[in-house]
């Protein structure tokens, strides 16, 4: 029988994959995708908690909708910034972005 | 519904104006755009200010936002900050040129987010308001599309910002799982229950929530993005960065940890004190060896976040008042200092420390303004910066955290060194860089002059502001 714990473990695994990706990827697009995986882990958690513990209301699912919407907005801005930097630098690898330091 | 909307009048005015301004770019001719955009944005800020001052309503909007005198104070600070930043940007054609409507609109939208943060009482609103604050800031940081430094600062800011939002949300999902609601109140009942409940979920949730908020608060293990974003962003936006932190994020934390989850009972006092010490010390020590004015002020801003945080660690009414005074003071002196940096960068074409050498000989007024801001930043009386530090240190002593005050004072001494390094260069060195352009324009002079005057007046006559924050902080509990 699949229960709440299964979903939470899957969420934790997804979240860890996301963090690992953010820390190790050098391609900005890869980092963005990893961040999206983190957001999806959050959504899974919210919906699973809602379904298994608080079946009487829809707060968790509603929250997940907000997360999805704002993540999309954030991704739009992120991709626009990536586009701007690609036009100037002709690369999307973070190690090439070393102008600011100290 | 109507009642809630009435309570949120200032936010609604600003959001409406912001959306209109975003549409302005495409509908008004380029020539008159800048004048219109600036006038409209300042008018909407004035309207919001009038609403806040004339009709200080209090109540609960949508059951998620607490409108009270406490939030009013911080809303005033953020409106003030936005107005000053728009004045700073007035003469900058790369910001207030062809896309002036977008620029002013984004500044207003970010301000609305900060104002909602000051009222937030629910994790959902906390998340939405935080995004509303930071997403416009990502765009503003990268506003100079052809400037590589602006691109780079913005992308680093964005990646860290989105990552920290992910951490925060993961924490919120656990807090929801444990309480069944995203309202702060639900969390309060978990901690106040006499039965020792299983708090594993809540502790995991709080841990991730704090990590996420730590990024926005520029606390030390999470501060790496700050100098890059500050240096890369256009200078008026650099001045704007700290407003959302000082008038938004710290307010949510004051609300959450002051009213709902007592820091002491959650066993967080030591952790918070440690974060504060690390932030002050590392910020100040790194600022010592900076050669760029913007970067130096960025690290000093991190150090100030640490001092501001002491008010939260103290967890008493005096600490709350301290955060209020400190937030107002840092908004004025931070924006003021960056205003002078913007003027210097225009005159000399550089924002390195070298560029400010000999400023007193060439532009005495600017040098005197900078002197006032630096004195206030280093916490020397009679300026408001001193009052802010005095309040948070007094609160920490009242809470029995004398050692924290000692470290804070030591840090103030360190900061005096690098602030006076700037003063020394301004007054006792000769300029080695040729001036390019004419000095600062009227709006920048007004913004910097008004900030300096306010710092001095509030600093010399503290009783007025003391009674104000004393009354406002009582709105919390």
Q: What is residue B98's predicted lDDT score, i.e. its pLDDT?
A: 74
Q: Which residues of B touch A57 (CB under 8 A)?
A: 180
In Å, how far is A96's CA from the nearest CA of chain B? 10
* Cis status of the peptide bond prior to B382, with omega within 30 of 0: yes
Quote the CA–CA distance of B86 and A73 in Å, as a whole number: 25
- The verdict on a CB contact (< 8 Å) between A49 and B228 is no
What is the rounded average pLDDT of the residues B234-262? 90
pLDDT band at B368 (very low <50, low <70, confident <90, very high): very high
pLDDT, residue B299, reads: 95
Confidence of residue B433 (pLDDT cuts 50, 70, 90): confident
E strand or H helix at A89, and its extent?
Answer: helix A59-89
What residue in A sits closest to B145 (Cα-Cα)?
A84
Return d(Cα B88, Cα B335) in angstroms, integer: 9
- CB neighbours of B414 closer than 8 A, spacing ≥ 6? B284, B285, B288
Candidates B142, B177, B291; nearest CB to A81: B142
Domains and CATH numbers, chain A: 4-96 (1.10.287.3510)
CB contact under 8 A, B151 and A85: yes
- Name which of A31, A42, A46 is nearest B159 (Cβ-Cβ): A31
Out of A18, A77, A97, the one facing B152 most closely (by C-beta) is A97
**Cα dist from B363 to B116, B213, B398, B425, B432, whole Å:** 40, 41, 44, 13, 15
Task: Point out the residue among A46, A67, A81 whose CB comes nearest to the CB of B138.
Answer: A81
Q: Report residue B440's pLDDT band, with 50, 70 and 90 as the boundaries.
A: low
Work out the pLDDT band at B321, boundaries 50, 70, 90: very high
Query: In the structure, what pLDDT confidence band is assigned to residue B267 with cuts at 50, 70 and 90?
Result: confident
Tell me whether residues B135 and A97 touch, CB distance under 8 A: no
Confidence band for B195, pLDDT divided at 50, 70 and 90? low
Q: How far apart are the C-alpha atoms of B26 and B326, rounded to whole Å? A: 40
- How far does the CA of residue A97 sit from the closest CA of chain B (Å)? 6
Q: What are the tokens at B420?
A: 């006076």
C-alpha to C-alpha distance for B138 and B131, rounded to whole angstroms:
10
Contact A59 B227 (CB under 8 A): no
ipTM of the complex: 0.96
Please give the backbone phi and psi of residue A91, each rounded to the nearest 5 degrees, phi first.
-155, 155
Across the interface, whether the CB atoms of A45 and B180 are under 8 A apart is answered: no
Go through B357-384 and write b for each residue having 16 or more CB atoms within 10 A of its CB, e for each that does not: bbbbebbeebbbbbbbbbbbbbbbebbb
pLDDT beyond 70 at B439: no
| Tally of residues, chain A | 102
d(CA B100, CA B107) in angstroms, rounded, equals 11
Cα separation, B241 vs B232, in Å, equals 12
Most A CBs within 10 Å: which of B127, B168, B173, as the mutation test of the A interface?
B173
Pick from B19-23, B135-139, B288-292 the range whose average pLDDT is largest. B135-139
pLDDT value, residue A2: 85
Q: Which of B109-113, B145-149, B276-280 shows the lowest mean pLDDT across its residues?
A: B145-149
**Residues B307, B377: contact at Cβ < 8 Å?**
no
**Which residues of B fall within a CB distance of 8 Å from A73?**
131, 135
Taking one residue from A and the other from B, the number of pairs with CB-CB distance under 8 angstroms is: 115
Put simply, the answer to whether B173 touches A77 (Cβ < 8 Å) is no
- Tracing tokens 């391609």 back to the chain, one arrives at A27
Q: Give the single-character DSSP code of B349.
A: S
- Tell me which chain A residue has its CA closest to the CA of residue B154: A81
Cβ distance B160 to B215 under 8 Å? yes
pLDDT, position B413: 94
- The answer to whether the CB atoms of A81 and B154 lie below 8 A apart is yes
In chain A, what residues touch B228 (CB-CB under 8 Å)? 100-101
Tokens of B112: 């609305």
- Does the pLDDT of residue B314 top 70, yes or no? yes
Nearest CA in chain B to A4: B177
Contact B131 A70 (CB under 8 A): yes
- The DSSP result for B131-180, as a single string, is HHHHHHHHHHHT--TT-HHHHHHHHHHHHHHHHHHHHHHHHHHHHHHHHS
pLDDT of residue B13: 94
Q: What is the spatial distance between Cα A23 and Cα B166, in angstroms, rounded to a whole number?
A: 13
Q: What percent of chain B has pLDDT over 90?
A: 59
Kindly determine whether residue A28 and residue B127, on different chains, have CB atoms separated by under 8 Å.
Answer: no
Q: What is the tens place of the pLDDT at every residue in A25-39?
A: 999 999 999 999 999
Average pLDDT (B373-392) is 93
Give me the residue from B146, B158, B291 closest to A77, CB to CB: B158
A61 and B124 in contact (C-beta within 8 Å)? no
Whole-number average pLDDT of chain B: 89
Q: What is the CA radius of gyration of chain B?
A: 21
**Chain B residues with beta carbon closer than 8 angstroms to that of A18:** 166
Looking at beta carbons, which residues of chain A come within 8 Å of B172?
42, 63
B477 has pLDDT over 80: no
Whether the predicted pLDDT of B432 surpasses 70: yes
Confidence at B198, pLDDT banded by 50, 70, 90? confident
- Asked if B127 and B172 touch (Cβ cutoff 8 Å), the reply is yes
Distance CA B175, CA B188 (A): 11
Which of these, B94, B108, B91, B90, lies nearest to B23 by C-alpha position? B108
Residues B473 and B477: their CA atoms lie apart, in Å, by 9
> Could you give the CA distance from residue B392 to residue B323 in angstroms, rounded to a whole number?
7
pTM: 0.94
* DSSP bridge pairs for B59: B67
Provide residues of A within 8 Å CB-CB of chain B: 11, 15, 18, 22, 28, 31-32, 35, 38-39, 41-42, 45-46, 49, 53-54, 57, 59-60, 63, 66-67, 70, 73-74, 77-78, 80-82, 84-85, 87-89, 97, 99-102
Listed as own residue / partner, the contacts of B47-55 with beta carbons closer than 8 Å and 24 or more positions apart are B47/B10, B47/B13, B48/B10, B48/B11, B48/B13, B48/B14, B48/B75, B48/B79, B49/B10, B49/B76, B49/B79, B49/B80, B49/B83, B51/B9, B51/B10, B51/B13, B52/B10, B52/B76, B52/B79, B55/B9
Pick the closest to residue B351 from B231, B442, B438 (CA basis): B231
User: HEC string of B223-235?
Assistant: CCHHHHHHHHCCH
Strand partners, B81: none
What region, left, alpha or beta, does residue B261 occupy, with left being phi > 0 and alpha being psi -120 to 50 degrees? beta
Reduced to 3 states (helix: H, G, I; strand: E, B; else coil), residue B100 is helix
- CA–CA separation, B88 vs B42, rounded Å? 12
Q: Which of A54, A78, A80 is facing B162, going by the closest CB pair?
A: A78
Question: Residues of chain B whose C-beta is under 8 A from some C-beta in A?
Answer: 124, 127-128, 131, 135, 138-139, 142, 145-146, 148-149, 151-156, 158-159, 162-163, 165-167, 169-170, 172-174, 176-177, 180-182, 227-228, 231-232, 290-292, 295
What is the torsional sign of CA A4, A32, B130, A77? negative
Report DSSP letters for B168-225, one per residue.
HHHHHHHHHHHHSS-BHHHHHHHHH-SS----HHHHHHHHHHHHHHHHHTT-GGG-TH
Nearest CB among A28, A78, A102 relative to B290 is that of A102
Q: Which residues of A touch B292 (CB under 8 A)?
A: 102
Polymer length of chain B: 477
Tell me the two tokens of residue B419. Answer: 């602030």
Of B124, B162, B181, the CB nearest to A66: B124
- Dump the DSSP string for A6-53: HHHHHHHHHHHHHHHHHHH--BHHHHHHHHHHHHHHHHHHHHHHHHHH
pLDDT greater at residue B212 or residue B200: B212
């Amino acid at each position: 029988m699949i229960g709440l714990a299964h979903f939470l473990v899957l969420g934790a695994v997804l979240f860890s994959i996301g963090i690992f990706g953010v820390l190790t990827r050098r391609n900005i697009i890869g980092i963005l995708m990893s961040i999206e995986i983190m957001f999806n882990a959050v959504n899974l958690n919210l919906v699973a908690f809602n379904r298994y513990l608080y079946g009487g209301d829809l707060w968790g699912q509603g929250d997940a909708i907000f997360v999805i919407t704002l993540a999309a907005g954030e991704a739009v801005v992120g991709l626009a910034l990536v586009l701007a930097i690609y036009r100037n630098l002709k690369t999307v690898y973070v190690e090439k972005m070393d102008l600011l330091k100290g | 519904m109507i009642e809630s909307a009435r309570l949120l009048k200032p936010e609604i005015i600003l959001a409406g104006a912001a959306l209109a301004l975003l549409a302005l770019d495409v509908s008004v001719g380029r020539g008159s755009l800048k004048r219109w955009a600036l006038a409209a944005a300042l008018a909407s800020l004035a309207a919001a200010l009038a609403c806040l001052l004339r009709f200080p309503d209090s109540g609960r909007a949508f059951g998620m936002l607490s409108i009270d005198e406490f939030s009013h104070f911080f809303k005033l600070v953020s409106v003030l900050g936005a107005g000053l930043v728009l004045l700073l940007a007035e003469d900058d054609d790369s910001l207030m040129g062809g896309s002036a409507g977008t620029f002013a609109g984004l500044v207003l939208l970010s301000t609305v987010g900060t104002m909602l943060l000051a009222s937030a009482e629910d994790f959902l609103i906390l998340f939405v308001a935080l995004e509303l604050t930071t997403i416009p800031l990502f765009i503003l940081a990268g506003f100079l599309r052809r400037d590589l430094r602006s691109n780079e600062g913005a992308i680093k800011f964005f990646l860290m910002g989105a990552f920290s939002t992910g951490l925060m949300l993961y924490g919120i999902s656990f807090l929801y799982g444990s309480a069944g609601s995203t309202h702060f109140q639900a969390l309060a009942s978990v901690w106040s229950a006499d039965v020792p409940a299983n708090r594993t979920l809540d502790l995991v949730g709080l841990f991730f929530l704090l990590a996420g908020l730590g990024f926005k608060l520029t606390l030390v293990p999470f501060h790496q993005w700050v100098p890059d974003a500050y240096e890369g962003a256009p200078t008026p936006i650099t001045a704007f960065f700290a407003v959302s932190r000082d008038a938004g994020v710290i307010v949510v934390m004051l609300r959450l940890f002051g009213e709902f989850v007592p820091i002491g009972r959650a066993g967080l006092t030591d952790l918070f004190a440690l974060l504060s010490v690390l932030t002050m010390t590392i910020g100040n020590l790194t600022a010592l060896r900076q050669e760029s004015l913007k970067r130096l002020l960025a690290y000093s801003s991190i150090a100030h976040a640490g001092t501001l945080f002491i008010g939260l660690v103290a967890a008493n009414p005096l600490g709350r008042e301290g955060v209020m005074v400190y937030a107002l003071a840092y908004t004025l002196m931070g924006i003021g200092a960056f205003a002078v940096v913007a003027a210097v960068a225009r005159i000399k074409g550089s924002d390195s420390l070298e560029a400010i050498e000999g400023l007193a000989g060439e532009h005495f007024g600017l040098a005197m303004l900078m002197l006032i801001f630096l004195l206030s930043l280093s916490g020397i009386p009679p300026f408001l910066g001193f009052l802010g530090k005095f309040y948070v240190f007094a609160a920490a002593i009242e809470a029995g955290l004398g050692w924290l005050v000692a470290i804070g004072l030591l840090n103030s001494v360190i900061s005096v060194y690098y602030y006076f390094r700037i003063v020394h260069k301004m007054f006792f060195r000769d300029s080695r860089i040729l001036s390019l352009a004419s000095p600062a324009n009227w709006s920048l002079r007004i913004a910097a002059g008004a900030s300096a005057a306010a710092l001095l007046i509030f600093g010399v006559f503290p009783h007025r502001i003391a009674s104000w924050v004393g009354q406002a902080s009582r709105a919390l509990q």
